[in-house]
Amino acid sequence: YAIGYLAAGWFIDKVGTRAGYTIYLVVWSLAAAAHALANSAASFAVARFALGVGESGNFPAAIKTVAEWFPKKERAYATGIFNAGSNVGAILAPALVPIIALSMGWRWAFILTGLVGLVWVVFWIPLYRRPAEHPRLSSAERALIESDPPDPTAKVSWLTLLRFRQTWAFATGKFLTDSIWWFYLFWFPLFMADRFGVDLKNIGLPMITVYLLADVGSVAGGWLSSRLLGAGWSPNAARKSAMLACAACILPVALAPRIDPSATVLGISAQWIAVWLVGIAAAAHQGFSANLFTLASDMFPRKAVGSVVGIGGFAGAMGGFFMNLGAGWLKQNQGSYVTMFTIAAVAYFVALLVMHMLAPRLEPARIEDNS
């Protein structure tokens, strides 16, 4: 997944969102279905690798699509809405996949989930066009989409993007905050089992609660900065204020591993207090993420957005890689989750500070000077 990101953004910028998104979704779908053909650990690993490569095209293409179809004042809200879809999938999959596996066999679970991606492609190809090419777009709608200043016309290479402080601001933000999301994805069930004795077979409702809250946060965080932009705030003030509010909402998650498992507060068990603390943090993460993704299109022209998101996505995936290694080491050597949840609580403030130092005004990258 991380390796795939490095090429995915560049490729989608090169061929366009319509063709690029189609290719990556087909690769992802076929790779998912190919798990059913695996007859050894090695062949299963090949299918997993292909799945990660296919999945790496999703966010570069999605963010670039939003940049093509929405003015800056609406992009964070639009990003928050589509980003919420990933959490809906995370809720539906644990409910549906076991049913498929038990009734039809585990191979069909991979085949059917893979085919879902191909169904999406059937709708995407005939429906999607860039605004300038869409036959059903009214002149008023086109004027709204194109209301921002025109993009620079100079060409920009993938390597050139590494010269900009704006690229490093985005990549650093992804590295520091995506790592926390990966920590929640991998370690939340184990944390609930270790700390509160929740049987992993009964983790479904707590997980669903966390993902539902994440959905709400994704939309709300994007809505907040878009609302501030609509009220006349600058992109710099609107995006960073929204991210600061999200970072503040994450702070209480540091208390999750410190709760006495036998405690009850206002009739709420310790187990569910922890679920809500993690759920609110997950919601705030997604709100932060919706605005962070939007920074790529705030600071770079549409033709470079996919590449910038690809670079940042690589950084975020590697952050998750190192975070999970570190979490395992800390759990083994400390016997608790306190340090990890403390890191999770403050990482967003650190990320916002570093991004502010690298891009204090979120100024657009001067492509003409570096082409």
Distance CA 9, CA 11 (A): 5
Indicate if the pLDDT at residue 369 is higher than 60: no
* Phi-psi region at 12: left, alpha or beta (left = phi > 0; alpha = psi -120 to 50): alpha
Q: Supply the DSSP symbol for 232.
A: T
Cross-strand bridge partners of residue 269: 264
299 CB contacts (<8 Å, ≥6 apart)? 166, 169, 170, 308, 359, 362, 363, 364, 365
pTM of the model: 0.90
Indicate if the pLDDT at residue 370 is higher than 60: no
Residue bearing tokens 């292909």 = 50
User: Of 10, 348, 60, 358, nearest to 181 (Cα)?
Assistant: 348
CB distance 131 to 68 below 8 Å: yes
Distance CA 358, CA 162 (A): 13
Mean predicted confidence (pLDDT) in 321-343: 93
**pLDDT class for 154, splitting at 50, 70, 90?**
low
**pLDDT class for 371, splitting at 50, 70, 90?**
very low
Three-state SS at 153: coil
**pLDDT of 368:** 66
**pLDDT of 76:** 94
Distance CA 218, CA 6 (A): 25
Distance CA 289, CA 218 (A): 8
Distance CA 194, CA 172 (A): 32
Indicate if the pLDDT at residue 15 is higher than 90: yes
